Structure 1
Amino acid sequence: MKNKLLFPFIFLISQALYSQRVYSLDDDHTYTDSLIQIIKTTRIDSIKGITSFRLAELYRRSKKNELADEYIAVANKIAPRYPFLKDVGVYYNSTTYLSKGDMVNFGKQLSLANTKLKKYKTKESYALRAYIVRNLSILQQFQNNEKEAMRMLIEEAMPLAKKGGDYEVLSGLYKSVAIIFMNNNEREKAEEYLNSAKEYIEKAPRSSYTYKETKVEIYIIDAENLCHLENLTGAKKSLDKAYAIIKDYPKSNMNGGYYLSEGYYFYKIKQYENAFKSYDKGIANSMLFNDIYSANRLKFAKYLPLKAMNRYEDIKKMLSDLIESGSLFAVDEKRYTLELAYAFEKLGDIKNAYKYKSRYIVLSDSLNEQYSKDKITALEAKFNKVENERKIAQLEAQQERDKLIAENNKLYYGLLVALSVLLLLLVIFLWINSKNQKKIAIQHAKNYAQNLKSLKDQKEIEVMQAMIKGEEGERKRIARDLHDGIGSMLSSLKMRFMKVNSASETVDLNEIESMNTLLNNSITELRQISYNLIPESLLKLGLEHALNDLCHMLQTDEVQIDFHANNISKDIPESIQITIYRIVQELLNNALKHSKGTDILVDCNQNRSTFFITVEDNGIGFDSKNMDGFNGQGLKNLKSRVELLNGKMEIDSSAEKGTAFNIELSI
């Protein structure tokens, strides 16, 4: 029988979609506390926004919907100012529909989130999209569209997860594909994917707050599948892996699934009493969370060991109680009814056997299945001889109708052959047309690639031209500094030396002091120009120290500059460090020159291969929408350097709150 004993695992993988049950070990307190602390202490709105979204999702998993709504509201106030946050927010807000059980709008919002996130090429966006597509595939499974669910997992979700490098998400995807194969009773194929799922979950970082739940699910499902494959040694190893985690959480609602798999293992090794004990533990766990559906299915799991022990009276009572409970899915009620009819037949109660067999046919909508009709006729013969004779007459009439149908089928088959020939001709035509279209598509692809290369080359030329202009401007500035600063000082010093040389033997001490001051100022000016060219602290001590020195050096009595750094690696290539330094230097020079502010905040932090720069001032602001009309070379150089590192720059400026530059660089 298809889908036999697979029901608990369909429930496990649907945890993200079923609004009233979320399977969890309930050990998220440490993680939630750390997120709350970040939200309270960070001064960067973008970090506060994404952290609030993540905290809301965590509370939603724990069914703390009021707290989830509170942090969703915080994040939604910040998100409109940041394009990535705004697009990510579509996914996080979709969980509101999930908590209400509105699967239609939940699916629409998931599809919208996946579309909006396609323009981002970061590991985080790839991993999140993989998780979104996985949820969309589960929705397809709920609609009995397993073929589309499989396609979405293999062709869309898995490549995204591999790009994102998220082994935990990838393991979950392999597990989901395995379950689809299990639903279709392809156990060997399912085991291949479960082995991949186990391999990836062992590679995944333990720091994820869902890592333990994901690992427990995989090994529970693997144990059940190995039992079906009669690999009982392997099943025991997987059960032990799951128990090593779940034993520390006796009140977790994941225990129900574990005990169901353990009970099935005991059944396979013929330890029937131990199987009953495991099932009873699972039932108690399900009732602890008022999970009636899982409890009912755990009760039905006793059917196999009871049948093996020929305890049909117990089977009759158990199945009757389940059917009359009213808390069943249609597919479960159909199967329970069929097995109850079988139990009554074994007990010699033909009347009730016939009753429940008829009920089964109504539920399964299979009145035209000859096998079921023959079974009912046989039961009727035992139940009532007169009724049996009537049924025989009906069958004879049915046979006459079948003969007539057979004659009609000959005509239908002739038409079918003709139609098949036409279809064959159509397929040949489509095949030829497809080959031609393929050739056209290949040519279009070549043209597209050439155009793309031309655009890329043009963009590289524009960037190089901007960099050359910037370098030329820098050379002019250095020449001007040398001419106006050190040059004039040294000329003055030369004239004074000549004056002293041509004067009398008596040397004016004041003149010597003045010459000494000029010499010191020249040395200081020379050091300043040298530092602007290449800061010594950057080469010797690294980017963070150099940025700190830069902020300290530019600070004056009128302008206070605060510098904050977080997780800046010392392994960043030197060329990229110089570019980042120049970006911050340009932003500070612009703020000091134009903003007329008194406070400037510089915040730099690194998250793996992404570097974030925030420079805020409390000055007079400017019209950032009209940036393209500015003639200054500074902002052009700034944009060129950001583009050189495949970065993005956002500007928020107004007269009331000053100017904030938010830059995200790929290093």
Structure 2
Amino acid sequence: MKHLLGILFFILFFNFLSGQNKKDVIDIQITKGDSLNKLKQYTAALAPYELALAIALDKKDKEQQATLYKKTGVQYYRIAQYDISENRYQKGLRLDSISKTAADLYFNLFLVKRKLNQQDSTLLYLEKSLNLYKTLEQDKSAYNVFLSAGIVYKEVQLYDKALLYLIEAYNGFTRLKNENKLAYVCTTIANIQNRLKNYYQALNYHKQALKLHKKLNNPQGIGRCYSNMANVYGNLNLVDSAMVNFQKALSFTKEKNGQYAIALSNLANTYKKTGDIDLANKSLKESIEINTSLKDTLSLLYNYNGMISLFLERNNLPKAKYYIDKAALLVPSVSDNIAILNYYESEVEYHQKKKNYKMALAYQLKYSTLYETVYDIEQTEIVQNLQARFDYEKKENEILKLNLINKDSQLLLAEKNESIKSKNLTLIILAIIMILLIVTYYLFSQKQKATIQSAKIEKLEAIYESQETIKKRIARDLHDIITTNFDGLRLRILALKPTSKKPELIDGITTDIKNVNRQIRVVSHRLYPLEMQMGNNRKFKDIVKSRLTEFQLYGNIFVDLEDSLPEAINDLNLSTQNNFYGILLEVLNNIEKHAHATKLTITCYTDSKDYIHFVFLDNGIGIEHHAKEGIGLLNIKQRCEIINGSCNIQKVDSGTEVHISFPLKKNET
């Protein structure tokens, strides 16, 4: 018996040592793979990782398996074997779907899908990764994912989401005191604000990035920050500030590299705006010298185009011809269509000045053909971005529908339970009858008032329906006839510019026509019937957001939408949507024309009676209580009556507050 116990003890001890040895082997192989990975020997790192994975599979250690599926998947991704990489990530998720490893796996799947350009699932995996990271303890890897998410949403023009995650990354890297990453986040936020034309906010973040790069003693980063700030000042038409910052960018770019050459080229454009042609010429020559040594063909072509423009402006045709010939040698080897378009445009202008109209026409045809190609490419990119946004929103809607179905099922179950508990149905029916009698008496007394109100509303609806028909015809005429004619007129004036003795007069005429054209397009947009704008399955919520964005861009009034627009407004009937949209346009018009405001804050919410409320608060001069009620205010109040709503307009300490409320479902009378 003692011998049997000894043998059993030996077997158990041997198995324990064997398990420990396997664990040691896994750790050793992972360490070896990590070391090779740091040396960027990705193919070599696969062997120890694969061996560790095989041992983990033998041990049936699911946690180690998930980690090693992630590590091997990363290596296959780095050597461009994306199918194998995706397969490894999916296997890892089947073992672990809730930990930090799972969050990393979802993010890695997002990278693979983006690499393979599979837009239908790209943002889905990113969202799954982000949702997991939100539930976990935040660390450096989480903030890196938030930063990547911000960059991705910026690329598809979902700027609200991009800023949301970039601010998370900003706060995280601030807590970690990771100044290098924080500087990168600041620059990315600033670039988004620049695209949104929030130039002063963009400058604020660029300055933060500059301060961080100075602290890190990073001359290249400092130079890039000054260059970015110069571009923002250029957008603000602060030419002197732009020039100073470009000069600072050059001073911090010690090596005369491509970044230095770009800064010189931008500085030359700034000099040109100020009319200092000699300094512009000097900067471009220095940029040409650097790009020639770097053999940067594309940058050289841009430099030559800049020189040609300078000499054509001075009517120095021999010098212009010299650089035209140099540019012509580069065009066949360049794939940048914008640079080639600039070259063709220079050829047209040069031959027109030489009165060689045949050659000018030939290059004009080349320019037109290439311009159409460039336009088609841009349209394709826009469509792809919109498709990505549509797919993302579609998936979000599907998830919302599933949640609603689940809630409906719960409510149905609750109703069945309540019906089982109800045993006094007879008493309830009697009570209901009594209530109905009281309600009937009340309704009868209100019938006359309701009849008068209904007639008034019908009359107003008839008036507005007639107005919508007229507006539809006016909008089509403005858009299809007047706008097209003005565009044609502007192009013909531009074509005559080189032969005119007074180009500044032509520039003024062209600018006036462009302004008139923009104003007509604004009027056309306001008159355009809502049902036509909602073509191609466009939602009413998106039309409202689009109008608010356009108001912010062209009215120079910052719009702060404190609450996201509720989905319920998409389900309103067309008449209610038309009238609310008319109210919105009148409110925005009054603020733009009369309020002298710089900011509009919009709050929206739904109360317990299924009434939706919109509160518009501007920081303008405020409406006076004794002010005469004009057509705009009368129009707002009449439209509120049509949709059975209410309107309250009052002056507050910070400006004017307009409070609109109406039921989500219009009562029938």
Same fold (TM over 0.5): no
The TM-score, its normalising length taken from structure 2, stands at 0.39
Higher relative contact order (CA 8 A, sep 6+): 1
The TM-score, its normalising length taken from structure 1, stands at 0.39
